[in-house]
Chain A
């Protein structure tokens, strides 16, 4: 070991003095001197209790108490006083570590002092210029310095917000004291006594304090800015591991974090939940014969916390549940996985569903939105995930029905669709990039051809289905479509059924075998006559393609296909 490091610690506390006593003992037993600042809001009796509990520790002083509130200069004032008293009482201190009553040392204090001794002139303080990078999360950045913040954010939120707005409108811009450049960073630092003294004894300190009194959250900027004036050896990295969520609130550490924290090799971590008894008894790790000076590696813990932030902010795509119910178009993924909708083909090929099952490794359902009930593959009354096939249940929340089905199954879901089915999800599916849609319009006419119903009924149903499909087409032709849409009219499809199908199947399942045979097609004879008769009865049949090819040609193509 090179130069001897004599560590001083400033402990800022406002709550849970039992934990504070415990932490103070950890620090002093590691050889550090501790200056404790207890918030002036804490009752004198409780402070007396703390003093008594720590009576036998000689290395502890209690600094002058200030009434602190979050985001205000009082916190800086408390730190300044405690640091000054610490340096005065123990003048040979070489480093001062700023910690709170919820900061738990993870490694032996001797590790920390050895680490500091390896480069004794370095100031460990995160200090990021506001000009270049936005360091802050969910709050003001540069404006912390250019506006006035006389109101408490926690207690006078309304006034705080109004006053900020007003200043912005008025174009208020405070000027930094000459020679300072605004820097931000974690409020937990470890400075050399030399730098700290320079900051505290700066001849212009009164001027700086006056400026920072109205800066917002000065504990994240005061020392971070001034250190740049007095030190050239800044290690812009806090030795205290403190993670914040998207709203800038610190994460808490619990018993189940023990392994992860041990692995992180951080010196100090916050914020410890006071009830985490196992965590508190496990750390700091016991002293080893020789202090370890390996640097902290918080990568894994950072990754886990970033994942949690992602989950909080973006959520899991396609999940709708009691605590995630996104507004329309704010879903961040309407569904959780790709799925395929095949519109009209069961009307052309009656055995299409079974045929398709042989060609795809996907989960092939019938008409999931049929008015008789959801036709799950194999027609069980209870589908995957115990989803009911009852049409009433399904139609109460069709979107939940589809998204749950897609989320609970691990294979791709493929289902049939037609104008006879519930159309409630047309917009949802058309605007979902996960949807693969093969749409053959006009195919619903073929079952009518062979229905044997009286012409009046055929005409009525024809008109009804045609109207539904035209409405669906309005959706599919809109600007907002994000689904992978393959759209053909009946005439077009009947001319080239094999390439169209082959192309679509390869897109949803690249390993699907080449199509050699098509399933049996419905007989098309009489379609011409039916359409003519409908036309003459006053309807305007559409959606088939302007000119349906003659039946002979279609049969020839089919023969070729087979």
Chain B
């Protein structure tokens, strides 16, 4: 459930010269368009169980779009509950594996159902923008996929609320967490993760240092690529590899909108999560436990549905890769230990959160 990032506006910006006001106005129009799209998309969502009245002031909320992820849900919910997420707002995009029934029975889940096109809804982001606008205002909101697990500095000792209250205190509104693709040591087809099991027990390897970074001046975000997918699936066209930069945790306001997946937001200031004067700001990682045995079947199905970005280019590449029996593991892979390891490798930083 992830879209590639587009660098839009480069051509137009060049024509209009370097007038910053032009960019500002364009971004404002773009932002209002996105919010309007979100508003319009609300009709597509049917509330299955709306428990949002249980949300209290200051609660940390989690927003998810999913399809056929039944097996992942128990672990996903328990992981984020333990971290301190108080309520889950989930859009079920026509699951057929009973995930909807499971979610409906959860006391801290509000569930919406839709069979509209994931692609037409800008890969689910219109639905997310609507729910964020409706229920997220004034809360710290975490927008993730069911296979993404947030780690941040000190996460083993301090709950998410400690992080968000500190971010509040220093006046930050957004928190970056790069997507870190995790994979098993053996073939992906053999990595079976049963329901309720920690997928990171099986897919616990990652690429330590092959990430390329470019700055997108228009949106102000960094565009990070690399990792095992670029290495193994995109050899023929490595520049088309997926974007890994994400800003999943935001203190939401009615003026905000996600632009492309959670890679970037508007207003632009929310994307400036990095220091340009040589210092380090705080950041975390989303451990991406996508490459398990369930992935093979899923990629075949997604290929048929063609609901993903760029004609499901990613899934096509994966599928070709899997048929050739590609293993993502290489001798330079690192086994995940803890957040300190990620910090030593320079993938995350504690900034000045001592």
Whether both chains belong to one complex is answered with yes
Measured in the bound complex, the distance between the Cα atoms of B162 and A320 in whole Å is 27
A275 touches B214 (CB 8 A): no
Complex alpha-carbon distance, A158 and B158, angstroms: 35
Q: How far is the CB of B223 from chain A (nearest CB, A)?
A: 10
Does A208 lie at the interface of the complex (its beta carbon under 8 Å from any beta carbon of B)? Answer: no
B224 touches A311 (CB 8 A): no
Would you list which residues of chain A between 304 and 350 have a CB under 8 Å from chain B? 304-305, 308-309, 311-316, 319-327, 330-332
In contact, B209 and A388 (Cβ under 8 angstroms) = no
Report B-chain residues with C-beta under 8 Å of the C-beta of A405. 209
Which chain A residues border B222 with CB–CB below 8 Å?
Answer: 322, 325
Q: In the docked arrangement, what's the CA distance between A330 and B277, Å? A: 5
Which A residues lie within 8 Å of B248 (CB)? none
| A311 contact from B215, B238, B280, Cβ within 8 A | B280
- A325-B213, A386-B228, A392-B239 known; A273 and B162 CB under 8 Å? yes
Q: Within the complex, what minimum Cβ distance (angstroms) separates B152 from chain A?
A: 11
The answer on a CB contact under 8 Å between B332 and A251 is no
Q: Whose C-beta in chain A lies nearest to the C-beta of B273?
A: A323
Contact status B212-A255, CB under 8 Å: no
Q: Are B346 and A255 in contact (CB under 8 A)?
A: no
Residue of A247, A324, A408 contacting most chain B CB atoms (<10 Å): A324
**Pairwise interchain contact B213-A400, C-beta atoms closer than 8 A:** yes
B245 within 8 A of A: yes
Given the interface pairs A275-B161, A316-B346, the reply to whether A386 lies near B280 with Cβ below 8 Å is no
Residues in B whose Cβ lies below 8 Å from that of A393: 210, 212, 226, 230, 238-239
Given that A321-B213, A322-B273 are known contacts, is A255 also in contact with B349, CB under 8 Å in the complex?
no
Given A254-B157, A396-B212, A408-B209: A386 in contact with B276 (beta carbons within 8 A):
no
Distance in Å from the Cβ of B319 to the closest Cβ of chain A? Answer: 21
Q: Are A400's CB and B212's CB within 8 A?
A: yes
Please tell me if the beta carbons of B230 and A386 are within 8 angstroms of each other in the complex.
no
The residue from A245, A252, A324, A388 contacting B281, defined by CB atoms under 8 A apart? A324
Residue of B nearest to A390 (CB): B238
Are the C-beta atoms of A321 and B349 separated by less than 8 Å?
A: yes
Report yes or no: A314 in contact with B161, Cβ–Cβ below 8 A.
Answer: no
Contacts of B129 in A (CB 8 A): none
Contact B210 A397 (CB under 8 A): no
Q: How far apart are the CA atoms of A326 and B210 in the complex, in Å?
A: 18
Tell me which residues across on chain B come within 8 A of A131, comparing CB atoms: none
CB-based contact B352/A309 at 8 Å: yes
Inter-chain contacts of B238 with A (CB < 8 A): 388, 390, 392-393, 396
Residue among B161, B211, B215, B225 with most chain A CB within 10 A: B211
A167-175, A377-385, A443-451, A462-470: which lies at the interface = A377-385
Contact A275 B159 (CB under 8 A): yes
Complex formed: what's the CA distance from A327 to B272 in Å?
Answer: 13
CA distance A324 to B238 in the complex (A): 24
Cβ B208 vs Cβ A311 within 8 A: no
Whether B354 is near chain A, meaning CB under 8 Å from some CB there, is: yes
Expressed in whole angstroms, the minimum distance between the Cβ of B46 and any Cβ of chain A is 37
The verdict on B22 contacting chain A, using a C-beta distance below 8 Å, is no
The answer to the question of B17 belonging to the interface, with a C-beta cut-off of 8 Å to chain A, is no
The A240-287 residues at the B interface (CB cut-off 8 A) are: 243, 245-247, 249, 251-252, 254-256, 273, 275-276
Closest partner residue, chain A, to B282 (CB atom): A323
Instruction: Assess whether A407 is in contact with B352, with CB atoms less than 8 Å apart.
Output: no
In the complex, chain A residues 203-255 whose Cβ is within 8 Å of any chain B Cβ: 243, 245-247, 249, 251-252, 254-255
Closest residue of chain B to A258 (Cβ to Cβ) is: B157
**A256 contact set on B, CB distance < 8 A:** 154, 157-158
Is A404's CB within 8 Å of the partner chain B? yes
- What is the bound-complex CA distance between A322 and B245, given in angstroms? 7
Pairwise interchain contact A327-B330, C-beta atoms closer than 8 A: no
Q: How far is the CA of A246 from the CA of B263 in the complex (A)?
A: 29
Tell me the smallest distance from the CB of A4 to a CB of chain B, in Å. Answer: 39
Asked if B207 is at the interface (CB within 8 A of a chain A CB), the reply is yes
A387 on the B face (CB < 8 A): yes
Nearest Cβ distance between residue A151 and chain B, in whole angstroms? 18
In the assembly, what is the distance between CA of A559 and CA of B277, in Å?
A: 54
Judge whether A386 and B279 touch: CB under 8 Å.
Answer: no
Does A401 lie at the interface of the complex (its beta carbon under 8 Å from any beta carbon of B)? yes
- Whether, in the assembled complex, B274 has its beta carbon less than 8 Å from a beta carbon of chain A, the answer is yes
Interface string of B55-80 (1 = CB under 8 A from A): 00000000000000000000000000
Residues of B within 8 A of A385 (CB): 207-210, 332
CB distance from B34 to the nearest CB of A (A): 23
Residues of chain A within 8 A (CB-CB) of B197 are: none
Asked if B166 is at the interface of the complex by the 8 Å CB criterion, the answer is: yes
Contacts of A251 in B (CB 8 A): 354
Expressed in whole angstroms, the minimum distance between the Cβ of A442 and any Cβ of chain B is 33
Q: Chain A contacts of B235 at CB under 8 A?
A: 390
A240–B236 alpha-carbon span in the complex (Å)? 62
Of the A-B pairs whose beta carbons lie under 8 Å apart in the complex, a sample of 14, sorted by A's number, is A243-B354, A245-B352, A251-B354, A252-B166, A311-B280, A312-B279, A315-B278, A321-B283, A323-B348, A324-B279, A330-B278, A384-B332, A393-B210, A397-B212
- The 3 A-B pairs at the shortest CB distance, nearest first, are namely A385-B209, A397-B212, A312-B352
16 more CB-based (< 8 A) A-B contacts, given A326-B276, A388-B210? A249-B170, A252-B169, A255-B158, A273-B165, A312-B280, A313-B279, A315-B279, A321-B213, A322-B224, A324-B274, A326-B275, A327-B276, A396-B214, A397-B212, A397-B213, A408-B209
